[in-house]
Structures are given as structure tokens and as C-alpha cells.
Structure 1
Amino acid sequence: MAIRFIAVLKRKLNSAFYVALRLVNYYPYYTYLQGRGQKINLTPEYELEFTEQERVFLKTCAASYNYFESDYALGHRQKELSLYKLKDVTYLSNTGVIKMGDKLIVESGLSVDRLTRSKAFRDFTVMLPHSYKSGIYTTIQHSHWADNNISLWFIDSLPRAYILAKTVKEPVTLLMWKGAAAYQKQTLEYLLKDHRHITIKYISKHHRIKITNFYLPSFITASFSGYMPPDVSAWLREGVWNSFNIIRTNPKHRIYVSRSKARFRRVVNEQELIPVLEKYGFKIIWSEDYSYKDQLQLFYDAEAIVSPHGAGLTNLLFAENSKVVELHPAKIIKGRYMLLCKGIGFEYTPIIGSPGDDIEDFVVPVAELENWLQSTFPFKL
């Protein structure tokens, strides 16, 4: 009770603090590119087609968010992939966001929602001034969410390197946080290894850099979406498989990814699920027990994957071909990995459990999971 009171008090003090900052105009305002600079389009935009079952699920996801900007049941338009050639920007190395004049550029932060919740908008990080007057610079970095989050790295950040690889011909320096995780550096360097004109420069998070010539690659995915055009996901998948020397001849297996060691969104009745899954040959794994290379190999070899919603499901992107069941608490249902599966052609089934408690721990309907197992694998192992 005392802990909850302290948490509520902290939130209220935080809120009052930021209101005071707004009154003294501390926050920078934001704007859109609106035709500034030269825009190079790599691919046109297009509309995705959904089955009725997919639309129903996406509508359910949006309703759990009070129909925020995630209602893809109304239509999901894959935006054009573009590169913006800009003049005279200020690059904020703690987020990857840029400013033009005194305003933050929304397109550099993915969306207004992401931008206004980022450290570029409301943070006191000490930023040391620098200036790059010669040369051309770029970035794929995406706010502080991508510090060490595989979902935001592989879905939001790294795919932007595809645009650089396909459009940039002249020498360019890519700015990247020097404290990036080893798997981030490894995958970025591997994917760009054949593009010698793109040099990666690792810098600290405390730079506010005035840059004369800056290339801004668009984001490939949209907010709340993991969908990537097949050409992009194929490029990314092959690059990551090769960079980690994934073995492609192992026998296939089936895995259940447990979150019982996580701090939240755990399956309360997991001990009822496990015997059912094991009857159908599923191996129970905890991602925390494996190196990242071994996680990728596990997913590559999986012909079926069952898991509660969580960032670890980003590794679906690196399965060769798999059937996927994602378990959701009913209170907040997210379509990110359904849309990821849509882009790579995997069969996806959501199972929605109880609403979940304050930390999203929830109960999964065992009978519904068993029905899926029986229909998908008629013969038990």
C-alpha cells in the first residue's frame, strides 16, 4: 500500500513539474518536414488487405487502446519508403531526433506520440554542442526505447538501414550511440558491410550537433505495427541469419516461450498449459537462459511457437517458417506481432485470456489452446 501511495505521489509531482516547464516554454515545439529538402522515394505506398478474422482481431486491439492510432482494421497503408536530404539540422544524439530551427521534426521520431514521450521532448540530459559543417551524416537511431530493446531495434530502427543501402551512393557517416548492445552493433555492421561508402561513427548520447548536410531515412514500420514490406524483411532476415552464422539444416522443433521469470505479463495458470503443450512435443524455454545467437537459432528451427505477448516475439522475424500462437491479456491487446507475421507470411493465431491484474499477469483459456493444438497437430508426439 505504501509503495503504491509513493508511486501515485511521484506521478503527481512529475506531472506538476512538467506543467511548470511548459509554462516557462521549456519544451521545444514540433513540426513536420512539409516539403523541406529533397525527398527521394524508394517504393510507393500501398494498402494491405486483411481477412475478416484479421480485421476482427485488429478491431479488438484498437478497442483495448480506446481506438488510439492503432485501429488498423480501418486500413493499414504501408507508407512509401523515402530518404530526405536536408540542410542545417540539429541532431540530438540521445534520441536520434533532429531539429530544424527551433522545432523538433516529427518524422525523425516516428510519430507525434513517440516524439512527445521521448527524451528529445522532456528530458534534462546534458547535451554538449558540436558542429559538422563538412560531409554528409545520417542515423537510424530511434529514441531511448531502442537502447537495448530487440523489438524497437529490429522493427523500428535497423530496417531504416535498408533505405540507406538502397538509395545512398555518396560517402555518408551514420551516427550511432557507442553504448549500443553488441547484437545491435553486430547486425548493423554486417548489413552495411558491402556498402563501404557508409561509415558508422559511434558517439556518446550527450551531443547536440549542428549538421549542414543530413540524410533522414523514413521509418519503415508504423506506430504499433510490426509490418514490413517483404523485400525489407527478406533483406533483414538474411542479413541477421548470416551475421550470426545460423545453422539451416537442424531438425525442426516446437517451442513455448515462458515469461515466468519476467516481472510482468506472466501466465498465471502456466502449470496447466505446460502438460498440454508437452503432449504435442513443445519444448519449454526461457529466453533469459540463452545467448542472443542461441535464441535466434531456437526460433529459426521452430515450426511452431506459442508465447505470451512480449518483446521476445520479435525473434519471430528470424524463424524460417512457423505457425504462431500469441497469448494476450484482455485488458491491453497488441497487434504488433500479428502484423509482423502478416509481412513474413506466417500463420498467426491470437488467444485472448483474462483482463490481467495491475502488472498484466493473466489467465489463458487452456481449452482454446488445446483446440488449436488438436486442429494443427492431429497426432500427439
Structure 2
Amino acid sequence: MRKVRREFARIFRNSASFLERISRSVDPTLFWNGYSDPASRTGFVKVRSVRSWCFEHDLSYTVIAPAKKTPVDRPKVIGTPPYEPRGGHAELPEVYLARLRDVTIIGGTTIISPEPGVILYDEIALSSGFPYGSRTPALEIRPALSCFPCSVGRVDRAVHFCKEGHSNYFHWLTDCLPRLMLTEHEPDLRGWPLLVDSDVPPQCMDALRRVTSREIINVPHKACIEVGELAFPSELSVLHDRYEGTVDLERDIVLRPESLLFTREKLLGKRRAEPRTKIYVSRANGRYRKLLNEQEIIRHVKRRGFSIVSPEEMTLDEQIDIFSNASHIVGPTGAGFANMLFAPQGCQATVLVGDNANTNLYFLNQIAHAFSIDLTYVVGSEVAGRFMPAVHNDYSVDISLLDLAIG
């Protein structure tokens, strides 16, 4: 099994290297689609930004907020971090609402094709390299994102709401849901339905229905839908899963504070956030990045008065209720910590992480900064070799370090 994993890792690295050489040597906007299905046209597709296409074809492109720098605090760390943490400023992208005509969209992505052989995909068109995870290499090596199999349907007009990461609770609350902000003040879009990925988890769909009453058109994963008039709200934040190289404070994960506040206000509603309970967020059901001594830690925190919660087994209301009343939140890093969006001011959060070089120590403290949460990372020791990419390796955390964090 280890030999198979090593061979898979070698093939993956070689494919990524090959694709990078192609993109540099031919044309920075041309990418191999890698699809061998005879029903699909293989070869190269030209990648354009939405802005450049709209300006070239005299289409509506409204800038709602310019690109800007946002502060990122130096994280508080107990244990030995994989790199020296620092503070600084990171770049948030330009926020816009574009109007496109006669295009094809792909379920599960923000990719748009305005004509054969061309795709609009800001994440690649506006980037200078791709040392990231499944979100960006998907275009080159995944069959679903090649040169567009036959369309499975047509919609006269709609708002684009499909997105990479839609099945992840953290991505949904911080990255997907806030896109609705950009359509709220457009009167002529009020009757337009939303194109939404059909496999959005129940808690995420519940969150969406609380924010909007629009008709929802389900788009199957990888399906192509033709749209006569498409309103495209841009991404507001940057979320990249880095699988190689060095964690980059400025580029990898940058969360827009206004997005976080939008989700908090829409979902928390009139609930009063009051710090009353201590909770431990379990990741026992996780398939990867498991905390190997979690049962030992659970027994320890129970003696300290903590209740154990598994967010993936809870409804949206149950998650909001318990996190909005938390005085202390402890647990291994994971999507459950998106619920810090609902935590009260002054809540103490302790995140347990491994010491892999690609472990990002910056993104959760951006939520903490936005809502005055006192966050500390406790760094444990990874068990190397089980997973590819290695950032998802299992790890363990010394209980004495945890005690230093929670007092």
C-alpha cells in the first residue's frame, strides 16, 4: 500500500510539473484539459478573467469594492510551529458583479465558458502559479473541467452560485454564502433564480434558505448548463489549500471581514451571544488529519468541565446555539471551527494542529480578529507518510501543552 501511495504521489507531482511547464512555455492563458473521453474535445483551452472578457465584449462589470490590503495578526502559538509565525497584510481581491450572455457553466465550479475553447476562471487567469490543492489543478487534470461535454439543460436567466468547496461547511459559510451580498442591492435581479450545486449538505442548504427566498435550480456535479443571461457575483475572499512550498500569509487564505460579518448577522439573527459553556469540538468522525490521542484529550477536558460536540451530527440551529454560548472552544482544526462566526466576544478558542510545513496558522485567527475572540494554536507532532498531500497527516498533541493554552 505504501508503494502504491508513493507511485501515486510521483505521478501527481510529475503531472503538475508537466502542466506548469506547458503553461509557461506556450501561453500563460492556455491549459491542457487532459480529458481522454472521445465525446469531449481535447487539447487546449484559453483561460480569461471575467473582467477582461466583459470589457472586451462590452458587457456589464460593476466594481463593488476594489482590491485592498487587510491586516492579519501574528498567531499565538504554544508548542513548536512548523515555521516562524508573523503578522502582516494580505491582499483581498476586487469584488464585482458581472453580467454575461449565452454562456455555459459547470456544476461544482466557478468556471464559465462564453464560447468553445475559452473559459473564464479568475483563480487561474489572475494568478502567477499554482502551488495549491484540488481547487486549481482541477482545470488541468480532472475530466469534469475539460472542454465541456454536452449541455444537460438550459436556463434563460439566473444568478451563478455554484462553487468549488460548496460541500465543505467552512468554505460554505466563509466563502460561498457571502456572494449573495453582491446581489442584494440589484432590484432587477430580485426575481432571478440561483444556480446551486445539487450536493450541498443539508446544514449548508439550511443556511442558504435563511439568507434568501429565491428559487433554487439544482445543478448536478460536473454538469454543464447553458444560461442565456447570467449574473456572476465574484469571490470576496481567497481560500487556497496549499499542498507544497511555504505557507504564504499574503496569498493562501485571506478572509474578507465584511463576508464574515454578513454570515454572522444573517444566521445569528437576534440571538444573544453569551459566554456560558465550555465545548470540545470532536473530529473523531474525520477521515483524515485525525488527532490520534483524541480520546485521551476528551477524557482530560471532560474533567475540566467541557462538553463534547460533533458539529457534523448537529443541525444548523444546534450549532449556532451551542457556539453562540461558548466561553471556551477547544478542538482539532477542521470545518467545525467555522462556527466561531457565532461565538461571543471574549470567547477563548484553542485550535489543535499538527506540525506539517503546510499547516496554515493564519486563517482561523482572521475570524478571531473579526469578532474579538482570543485564539491560540497548540502544535503537536504529525505522523508522517500516511496521507498525500502530507498536510492531512494524522498527529498527536501533548496534553501539557493544551493545559498551557486553556489555563
TM-score range, shorter chain: 0.7 to 0.9
Please say if residues 107 and 163 of structure 2, whose CA atoms lie closer than 8 Å, have aligned partners that are also in contact.
no
Q: Which amino acid aligns with 2:359?
A: I
Indicate the SS of the match to 1:28. Answer: strand
Conserved 8 A contact 2:91-2:254: no
Aligned: 1:277 with 2:281: no
Matched, 1:370 2:368: no
Provide the rounded CA distance (Å) in 2 between the counterparts of 1:16 and 1:372: 42
Residue-by-residue CA offset, 1:305-334 (whole Å, 9 max, x unaligned): 111111221122232342211111011322
1:265 aligns with one of 259, 266, 289? 289
The CA distance in 1 between the partners of 2:72 and 2:12, in whole Å, is 42
> 1:106 corresponds to which letter in structure 2?
Y
User: Distance between the aligned counterparts of 1:99 and 1:192, measured in 2?
Assistant: 27
State the Cα distance separating 1:183 from its structure 2 match. Answer: 2.3
Change (3 A) 1:8 1:354: closer
Counterpart in the other structure of 1:330: 355
The equivalences for 1:92-241 within 5 A come to 92-101=106-115, 102-107=117-122, 113=130, 116-118=136-138, 122-124=142-144, 127-129=149-151, 132=154, 134=156, 136-143=157-164, 145-146=165-166, 148-167=167-186, 169-170=188-189, 171-193=191-213, 198-205=214-221, 207-224=223-240, 225=253, 227-230=255-258, 232-241=259-268
Q: Distance in 2 between matches of 1:307 and 1:172?
A: 41
**Matched letter for residue 372 of structure 1:** A
Aligned to 2:328: 304
Question: Structure 1: how far apart are the matches of 2:33 and 2:220?
Answer: 26
- Look up the match of 1:40: 62
Give 2:248's aligned residue: none
Mean CA deviation greater in 255-264 or 329-338? 255-264
Q: Does 1:347 align with 2:361?
A: no
Specify which structure has the higher proportion of helix: 1
**Cα drift, residue 255 of structure 1:** 0.9
- Partners of 1:364 and 1:286 in 2: CA distance: 19
* CA displacement, residues 80-110 of structure 1 (integer Å, 9 cap, x when unaligned): 3211122332211243421233222222789
SS where residue 367 of structure 1 aligns?
A: helix
CA distance in 1: counterparts of 2:193 and 2:45, whole angstroms: 27
Partner secondary structure for residue 138 of structure 1: strand
CA contact (8 A) 2:144 2:222 kept: no
Q: Are the structure 2 counterparts of residues 219 and 94 from structure 1 closer, same or farther at C-alpha, using a change threshold of 3 Å?
A: closer
Q: 3-state DSSP class of the match of 2:364?
A: helix
CA distance in 1, matches of 2:108, 2:292: 38
The CA RMSD measured in Å over matched residues stands at: 3.7
Q: Is the 8 A contact 2:104 2:226 kept in 1?
A: yes
Paired residues in the alignment total 351
CA distance in 2, matches of 1:177, 1:188: 12
Please state whether the residue corresponding to 1:172 is helix, strand or coil.
coil
Contact preservation (8 Å) 1:226, 1:340: no
Deviations 1:262-305 (A, max 9, x none): 33323333455345534542223333553443233222221111
- Displacement, 1:217? 0.7
> In 1, distance between residues paired with 2:123 and 2:68?
22
CA shift for structure 1 position 118: 2.8
Question: Counterparts of 1:326 and 1:250 in 2: how far apart (Å)?
Answer: 21
Q: What is the letter of the counterpart of residue 177 of structure 2? A: L
Mapped contact 2:75–2:377 kept (Cα < 8 A):
no
State the distance in 2 between where 1:41 and 1:23 align.
Answer: 35
Percent same amino acid at aligned positions? 19
Is residue 115–residue 121 contact of structure 1 (8 Å, CA) maintained in 2? no
Listed as ranges, the gaps of 5+ residues in structure 1 are: 65-70, 375-381
TM-score, normalised via structure 2 length: 0.72
